[in-house]
Chain A
Amino acid sequence: MAGGIKKFVVGCFDDEAVLFPAVKNVRRAGYKIHDVYTPFPVHGLDHAMGLRETSLHTAGFIYAITGTTTALTFMSWVFTKDWPMDIGGKPHFALPAWIPITFELTVLFSAVGMVLTFCYLCQLAPFVKKHHFHPRATDDLFVMAIECTDKTNDTEVQEFLQNAGAKEINVQHAESGWWIGRYDKEQKLYRDERGY
């Protein structure tokens, strides 16, 4: 449970056309955007938030060449060293005939590797439960969570969001980082334990 409990001011927008200038203004004002939760990929939002490009595709490439090398080395070893078979007097090192399997393993390694890396980076797995700032973030709301520090005046942030066009604004305490739990059980409020 890395990260500990933090305080967030949450603003919900119902139009991405309002969200974009809001993101820009919030960042200009110096507030720290924890994240923006959207029901679908909003193109350009990552740039507006100043996120760096993902390098997932680089990982995909590395997995792909791993697959290529595995296939080629393995088939060469089997057919030239371990058990050379005479198939109609054809060469043992039959590179053209290995192209299909080499290609398939390249694709397989890359796809499986990328999906696992994706799940690892985004911490996605069955039974993982994360804090949801608003249940409609997967329906029709664009939910911006601004992280508060000791110095942040949260009423000021709330007013700021109000002016930026947020439809719904509230303050939440949430644990950032991994969260294992069950979706059918109401989550126990750490707020109560800590006496917030």
Chain B
Amino acid sequence: MSLLKYESQQREPLVDGDKDYHQVTEDIIRPIEMKPSKLWYIGFYISVGLLLFGVYSIYREVTYGTGEWNLNKTIGWGWDITNFVWWVGIGHAGTLISAILLLFRQGWRTGVNRAAEAMTIFAVMCAGQFPIWHMGRVWMAFFVMPYPNSRGPVWVNFNSPLLWDVFAISTYFTVSLLFWYSGLLPDFATVRDRAKTKLRKLLYGMAAFGWTGSTKHWQRHESLSLVLAGLSTPLVLSVHTIVSFDFATSVIPGWHTTIFPPYFVAGAVFSGFAMVQTLMIVVRKVLNLQDYITLGHIEAMNKVIVLTGSIVGCAYLTELFIAWYGQNPYEWYAFSENRANLFSPYGWSYWLMMFCNVVSPQLFWSRKLRRNITVTFFMSIIVNIGMWFERFVIIVTSLYRDFLPSSWSTYYSPTIWEIGFYLGTFGLFFTCFFLFAKYFPVIAVAEIKSILKTSSENYKRKMTDIEKADAEKFYLDEVGHSH
């Protein structure tokens, strides 16, 4: 029966090697059951070190106020919000892979969705830090929630994009977490049922919530995943749209544009996929998962990168053109002087962004380069540097020269504590990711099994043999038999 699910031989296999169901379990679960390698410890301790440095930087900021950062009269948002938007953007790939590609029935998502979703959750955790600590009096952070209070009650402003952000980011985090965890339940059950030690049996038993694999449960699980995917798809588009509203609804030259929502969403997917590439290239090598995260997967993601990179490039040129065509002197000044003029104080950052985000991804029109691991890894870093600079350009170049030349600020560069905070979120991200890679099934075991009979290498080989054989015999053997 399962043989009847036919997939074209033109498509390359999603799972390499001669695998059966048990082999899949073995390959993916074994790293959890083994002691981590020396490399893991080194990476983990470096991450924790960065995290601690970040904690100290935040401690300085909370104790002495946001004056610890080099923000000034016109640049009220500097590295902090740049980093916020950057991390949120990175957090878009996971849900895109797991939700939108699920709706589009893209089989290759099964190899990377688990790790990408984990990355999403950790990236959103990092992003959340920035607006929270930027509040200065962070102990009043709960003021952003609409709760009945003794000050009137004075409610939050539901018309403000900053409040929309609160709702968007927290909803996005919650829904991503639920989506991720509900997918993890069956895999935790697999770890639990193989566990040899008592502690592992207890912990994974708790984590698996008593999952048995009952058909009725699977039926509900499928329905749940599908609806969550359907909900997450507009959600993921809404989140970065709302982040872009933080800028677009203001009247600052360079921000006040209607192109922002689609341009931000494309940029978010672009940087998110780049981060997935950075992580997956390392993970597949370290955990020996090359059969599941194949060159085909990497190529597919590179195709998304070249597509979204080109959309972003198109958006850059469009906003430049409209700034000129719109004939608003302030808007045009922001673009022609503050950004595009290489010799203005921040001109270099605009051209760096252009190079990293628009020019360099064009390499991926070549199939050979799309399938080259070294080039991909290098490019994934370049793209993320470029996307960081995109946010920096938007924020700083629009703010440092406002409508009054008398209040044009001097050159803004971050203090060590501003940088430390950013490094600290790297620490948080990688600490979480290292723990994830050690204790969680990094690939969705059950989902890989569900595509194994249609898309794995040995199945494809079998199908090629069948295709060569007599068509009538095939019908009698396979079709006639199962009816």
- Give chain A's interface residues, CB within 8 Å of chain B: 16-17, 20-21, 35-43, 45-46, 49, 51, 53-54, 56-57, 60, 64, 74-75, 78-79, 82-83, 85, 87, 90, 94, 97-98, 100-101, 103-105, 107-108, 110-112, 114-115, 118-119, 121-130, 132, 135-140, 143, 179, 182-184
Q: B216 to A51, Cβ gap below 8 A?
A: yes
Interface: B351 (CB within 8 A): no
Q: B242 to A111, Cβ gap below 8 A?
A: no
Interface: B155 (CB within 8 A): yes
Q: B1 to A124, Cβ gap below 8 A?
A: no
Determine which of A20, A57, A139 lies in contact with B1 in the assembled complex, contact meaning CB atoms within 8 Å. Answer: A20
Residues of B within 8 Å of A74, CB to CB, are: 146
26 contacts between A and B (CB under 8 A): A17-B482, A20-B482, A35-B214, A38-B215, A38-B218, A40-B218, A54-B219, A82-B153, A83-B152, A87-B157, A87-B159, A94-B159, A97-B158, A101-B164, A104-B168, A107-B234, A111-B174, A111-B231, A118-B221, A127-B206, A128-B209, A138-B193, A140-B25, A182-B205, A183-B192, A184-B201
Interface: B190 (CB within 8 A): yes
In the complex, per-residue mask of B1-45: 1 if CB is within 8 Å of any chain A CB, else 0: 111000000000000000011100100000000000000000000
Q: A41 to B194, Cβ gap below 8 A?
A: no
Q: Say how far A69's CB is from chain B's closest CB, in angstroms.
A: 15
Q: A39 to B209, Cβ gap below 8 A?
A: no
Residues of A within 8 Å of B221, CB to CB, are: 41, 118, 122
Residues of B within 8 Å of A46, CB to CB, are: 215-216, 218-219
Contacting residues of chain B (145-186) with chain A, CB-CB under 8 angstroms: 146, 152-155, 157-159, 161, 163-164, 167-168, 171, 174-175, 178-179, 182, 185-186
Determine which of A64, A100, A126, A182 lies in contact with B207 in the assembled complex, contact meaning CB atoms within 8 Å. Answer: A126
Interface: B220 (CB within 8 A): yes
Contacting residues of chain B (194-239) with chain A, CB-CB under 8 angstroms: 194, 198-199, 201-202, 204-207, 209-224, 226-228, 231-232, 234-235, 238
Residue of A nearest to B154 (CB): A83
Give Cα A114–Cα B201 distance, bound, in whole angstroms: 28
Give Cα A123–Cα B157 distance, bound, in whole angstroms: 40
Give Cα A42–Cα B450 distance, bound, in whole angstroms: 7
Known: A45-B215, A78-B158. 8 other contacts (CB 8 A): A42-B450, A46-B219, A56-B224, A74-B146, A90-B159, A97-B158, A100-B167, A114-B224
Q: B209 to A124, Cβ gap below 8 A?
A: yes
Contacting residues of chain B (426-470) with chain A, CB-CB under 8 angstroms: 446-447, 449-450, 453
The 7 closest A-B pairs by CB, nearest first: A183-B205, A128-B210, A140-B21, A184-B202, A124-B209, A40-B449, A100-B164
Give Cα A38–Cα B210 distance, bound, in whole angstroms: 14
Give Cα A127–Cα B206 distance, bound, in whole angstroms: 5
Assuming the A-B contacts A56-B227, A112-B178, are A183 and B213 also in contact, with contact meaning beta carbons closer than 8 angstroms in the complex? Answer: no
Q: How many Cβ-Cβ contacts under 8 Å join chain A to chain B?
A: 212
- Give chain B's interface residues, CB within 8 Å of chain A: 1-3, 20-22, 25, 146, 152-155, 157-159, 161, 163-164, 167-168, 171, 174-175, 178-179, 182, 185-186, 189-190, 192-194, 198-199, 201-202, 204-207, 209-224, 226-228, 231-232, 234-235, 238, 242, 245, 446-447, 449-450, 453, 482
Q: A139 to B21, Cβ gap below 8 A?
A: yes
Give Cα A140–Cα B242 distance, bound, in whole angstroms: 45
Q: A104 to B205, Cβ gap below 8 A?
A: no
Residues of B within 8 Å of A103, CB to CB, are: 234, 238
Residues of B within 8 Å of A53, CB to CB, are: 219
Residue of A nearest to B225 (CB): A41
Q: Say how far B74's CB is from chain A's closest CB, in angstroms.
A: 22
Determine which of B21, B218, B231 lies in contact with A110 in the assembled complex, contact meaning CB atoms within 8 Å. Answer: B231
Determine which of B218, B228, B482 lies in contact with A21 in the assembled complex, contact meaning CB atoms within 8 Å. Answer: B482
Q: A60 to B227, Cβ gap below 8 A?
A: yes
Q: A51 to B210, Cβ gap below 8 A?
A: no
Give Cα A57–Cα B163 distance, bound, in whole angstroms: 30
Determine which of B167, B178, B446 lies in contact with A40 in the assembled complex, contact meaning CB atoms within 8 Å. Answer: B446
Give Cα A108–Cα B181 distance, bound, in whole angstroms: 16
Residue of B nearest to A124 (CB): B209
Q: B212 to A37, Cβ gap below 8 A?
A: yes
Assuming the A-B contacts A98-B158, A101-B167, A107-B231, are A39 and B182 also in contact, with contact meaning beta carbons closer than 8 angstroms in the complex? Answer: no
Q: Say how far A172's CB is from chain B's closest CB, in angstroms.
A: 14
Q: B210 to A123, Cβ gap below 8 A?
A: yes
Q: A104 to B218, Cβ gap below 8 A?
A: no
Give Cα A56–Cα B446 distance, bound, in whole angstroms: 21
Residues of B within 8 Å of A42, CB to CB, are: 215, 218, 450
Determine which of B178, B193, B212 lies in contact with A136 in the assembled complex, contact meaning CB atoms within 8 Å. Answer: B193
Assuming the A-B contacts A46-B216, A100-B167, A132-B212, are A111 and B175 also in contact, with contact meaning beta carbons closer than 8 angstroms in the complex? Answer: yes
Q: Say how far B451's CB is from chain A's closest CB, in angstroms.
A: 9
Give Cα A126–Cα B224 distance, bound, in whole angstroms: 19
Q: B201 to A124, Cβ gap below 8 A?
A: no
Give Cα A140–Cα B167 distance, bound, in whole angstroms: 42
Q: A118 to B220, Cβ gap below 8 A?
A: yes
Q: B198 to A105, Cβ gap below 8 A?
A: no
Residues of A within 8 Å of B21, CB to CB, are: 39, 139-140
Q: Say how far A193's CB is from chain B's closest CB, in angstroms.
A: 22
Q: A121 to B220, Cβ gap below 8 A?
A: yes
Residues of A within 8 Å of B153, CB to CB, are: 82-83
Residue of A nearest to B4 (CB): A17
Residue of B nearest to A134 (CB): B193
Q: Say how far A26's CB is from chain B's closest CB, in angstroms.
A: 13
Give Cα A82–Cα B154 distance, bound, in whole angstroms: 9
Residue of A nearest to B224 (CB): A118
Assuming the A-B contacts A21-B482, A121-B220, are A100 and B449 also in contact, with contact meaning beta carbons closer than 8 angstroms in the complex? Answer: no
